[in-house]
Structure 1
Amino acid sequence: MYHQHKDLKHVNLDLEHVNLDLEHVNLDLEQVNLDLKHINLDLEHINLDLEHVNLDLEHVNLDLEQVNLDLEHINLDLKHVNLDLEYIYLDLEHVNLDLEYVNLDLEHVNLDLEYVNLDLEHVNLDLEHINLDLEYVNLDLEQVNLDLEQVNLDLEQVNLDLEQVNLDFLQEDSLLLVL
């Protein structure tokens, strides 16, 4: 396995009425570099069923420039969430988040943020009809660099219910298959 560099330019993903049931999934990606430029994600009526999700991202570099996420009516069920963010660098420039009617049900959430640098420039948060309810989610992000420039998140009718998914990003050649 070698260092991955994915250069996705002008990609258009139109996912309508997609149902993703990820149970007992283990993604081990280490030192992954995602170069997403001019990506348009149109996710309508997406249902993600992820329970007991463990996200272990180490040395992940997400370079998203001019990414458009259209997600409306998102339902996130996060319960017993453990966020371990170490050496995280978030560079959010010209980000537009439309959040309206947001319901966050966070039970037994543990946020471990060490050496986190949030660079939020020209960020607009506007989420409409978002319901976040995450149960038994463990996010372990170490040395993650998120560079989001001119990102527009508009989530429509997306239901995220993560069940027993383990994401451990470790130099996988099958990264595009995951995307």
Structure 2
Amino acid sequence: MSPGHPSAPQSPTTTATEILEPPKVEDGSQLWRIARDSKTLDLNSPYSYVLWCRDFAATSVVARSGGEVRGFVTGFDRPEEPGTLFVWQVAVDEDWRGRSLAGRMLGHLADRGHRYVEATVTPDNIASARLFTAFARDRGAELRRTPLLSGDLFPGDHEPEELYRIGPLDVPATSGDR
């Protein structure tokens, strides 16, 4: 596997305040806690966060400071869309918000050779809309928003999900023909 391939192990990125690196299985409970405390994300079971850290670590990232997870982005490579990272969830601990941490984590994943980034966003999720809009602008990439999932597809009261597709992104020379 080439170093720029999205399934290749990520090397940690360090800034003055945090380390960005793939999650470890032991991080699953911290991801669940951060998602729960966000009060905006659809909360998955603790089991799913632990498994995500095992099975999708290569396409996810945590921000760690002082040994604690301060934020995460979970994602996966879309099987039907090679070179496309689908972002499942983005969350940052309340005390760490307002530091552009979500954008740095998203960039860390995108810089691994993805040509496109996708995510779904509900109309009331202003923070995610701003994150993906700023990411596209900062990368000089097109952002297309299209309806994807209507609210009636979900049990209970759920807003529709709009697809945000960002790209094409510049791919580092080491990533091959992604």
By the TM > 0.5 criterion, same fold?
Answer: no
Q: Which has the higher contact order (CA 8 A, sep 6+)?
A: 1
Greater share of strand residues, 1 or 2?
Answer: 1
Q: What is the TM-score of this pair, normalised by structure 2?
A: 0.24
Greater share of helix residues, 1 or 2?
Answer: 2
Q: What is the TM-score of this pair, normalised by structure 1?
A: 0.24
